[in-house]
Structure 1
Amino acid sequence: MAAMSTAPRSEPAPLPPSSPPAATRAYGADPAQVYDVRLPPPGVIPLHATVLVVHGGFWRAAYDRAHAEPEARAFAEAGYTVAVAEYRRVGMPGGGVPGTLDDVRGVITAVLADPELPQPVVLVGHSAGGHLVTWAAAQPWIAEGHPGGVAGAVALAGVVDLGAADRMQLGDGAARAFVGSDAGSAAWAAADPMSSHPRVPVRLIWGDEDDVVPAAVGDAYLAQARAAGADVRSEVIRGADHFALIDPTAPAFRSVLATVHALLP
């Protein structure tokens, strides 16, 4: 596996100049309930699939979908139609549990129903977004009305175990702020991917130099899923930090592209 030589980062790299998305569509009444659509550029052979990107930022209002633009453009340049989800976050009206989870269901449902977005759809989430796509992968509604519509979920440094994140105090208590109640509550169980098994394939990708969401956060989730016979696999990339997984200029991003492609039928 290719290695990186850069030091771990605690913030995303500055954004390069970006072209606007082809469209921005609403899936709800709140200004945050939207998704951007990016199309393969001219000259690129389109793949008949959509990547739905769910950004991270520990579910907090300070972080929006803007920092997911480089990865979204890279997926489009690889031939995918791309939808970049926005959602209500902690610190915003309706953000946190259950509002953020409602938004994830809403945007996935909207993308699956959008006649201009090809199926299947692969969910790709980074950090808190990795939590959200892994949570969605276990929900009964993930295939309702669109059997086979979601090919799988890819969690990049995903917070897939809220209990582990809480014990490690990741993001200065971000998990507890997101749920709004203590571990062990009904809301906690409803929001935690550890509470149920995925209904679509899940792929976990980590960087071994990640000091924001270390790979150990996924140990119990992976063991539990495998014991249940779920289709869950994990990869740890040497030399990659937290943001290398969404940085198209980093060698680690090649593994992300390969993992997404492998989920397609």
Structure 2
Amino acid sequence: MRRRTFLALPALGLVPCAVLSACSRAPTPGRAHGVSQGAGQDGAVRITYGDDPSQLVELHRPSTASRGVVVVIHGGFWKSAYDHTLGTPLARALAERGWTAWNIEYRRVGNGGGTPETFDDVAAAIDALADVDGLDLSTVVTLGHSAGGHLAVWAAGRPDPGVRVTHAISQAGVLDLVASDRAGLGGGAAAALLGHPAGAGDAQWDPQQQIPLDVPVWAVHAPDDDTVPFAQAEAYVDAATAAGAEATLVEVTGGHFGVIDPDSDAWAAQLEVLDAIG
């Protein structure tokens, strides 16, 4: 059954300047290579999972018992101009709500990323959770914005994971690489990620072509998004539910960036989703 959640929310005000854009050596999956206490922001622990400067994670722990792990995956059309600091405000907010936040960085197009390096890094960063003491991995939620939404849903469907994703939340995500490429989103960002025009041969990288997943997916998106069309979320949820998967469309307002503003009603809607999960 298709489930659609509509939230009539007021328009947001100014977007912080840090989010003004839409947002090589292969690592050893599931192996954290080093930990530097105090290297992250706000007392977060910085963990590396490979030798490249982009193969790092910032771990934000709650002050109370953890409700589960949320893997924060930033956007920016997979481009090296944008980094994990886009996800830092969400990681802080999640820790304040009792979640362990795992804010990941990965190689992007322009600094050694692309296919398969970007995907290898996201997989390895998630699998590195297994090397952190004191984490309960029974609930692992991927939460990604824009290109990070694509990676969040992709990660939920990857085969033979070291750490299994149990739920995925796409925040204005690019869920259809073929449609994205045809529309020229991000100046041809999908083709730059793949190294060629997106097509049927890219099923292993494209959430729309991986339907159905056995992991619940929430597609949080605003109809007034002028960066990634709302139709991406609608088409994904329609196809997923028609195929028997559990997928929910959470309709918000606030454009492309309201979903990553911790002070927004769009973020409050996502907290409701997380409350239902854990």
**TM tier, smaller:** 0.7 to 0.9
Aligned equivalents of 1:112, 1:229: Cα separation in 2 = 31
Q: Are positions 1:255 and 2:278 aligned together?
A: no
TM-score (norm 1): 0.87
- Are residue 96 (structure 1) and residue 117 (structure 2) matched? no
Q: List aligned pairs for 1:106-117, cutoff 5 A.
A: 106-117=124-135
Partner of 1:129: 148
DSSP 3-state at the match of 1:28? coil
User: 1:151 offset after TM fit, Å?
Assistant: 2.2
Number of residue equivalences: 251
Structure 1 residues 10 and 73: alpha-carbon distance in aligned structure 2, compared to 1, 3 A threshold: closer
Q: How does 1:172-191 map to 2 (within 5 A)?
A: 172-184=187-199, 186=201, 188-191=202-205
- Taking only aligned residues, the RMSD between alpha carbons, in angstroms, comes to 2.1
5+ residue gaps, structure 1, are: none
| TM-score (norm. length: structure 2) | 0.83
Q: Which residue of 1 aligns with 2:167?
A: 152
Give, as a single letter, the amino acid of the residue that structure 1 aligns with 2:122.
Answer: V
Q: Is structure 2 residue 79 aligned with structure 1 residue 60?
A: yes
Residue of structure 1 in register with 2:88 after alignment: 69
Q: Matches of 1:7 and 1:209 in 2, distance apart?
A: 14
**How many percent of aligned residue pairs carry the same amino acid?**
40
Say yes or no: does 1:35 pair with 2:53.
Answer: no
Q: Structure 1 CA distance, aligned partners of 2:151 and 2:206?
A: 9
Answer yes or no: is 1:6 the counterpart of 2:12. Answer: yes
Would you say the 8 A contact 1:49–1:80 is kept in 2? yes
Q: Distance in 1 between matches of 2:86 and 2:76?
A: 9
8 Å CA contact 1:161–1:194 kept in 2: the answer is yes
* Aligned: 1:86 with 2:105: yes
Alignment correspondent of 1:210 = 225
**Residue identity in the other structure for 1:134:** V
CA distance in 1 between counterparts of 2:62 and 2:196 reads 42
- Report runs of 4+ in structure 1 exceeding 6 Å deviation: none
Deviation at 1:229, TM superposition (A): 0.7
Unaligned runs of 5+ in 2: 1-6, 21-39
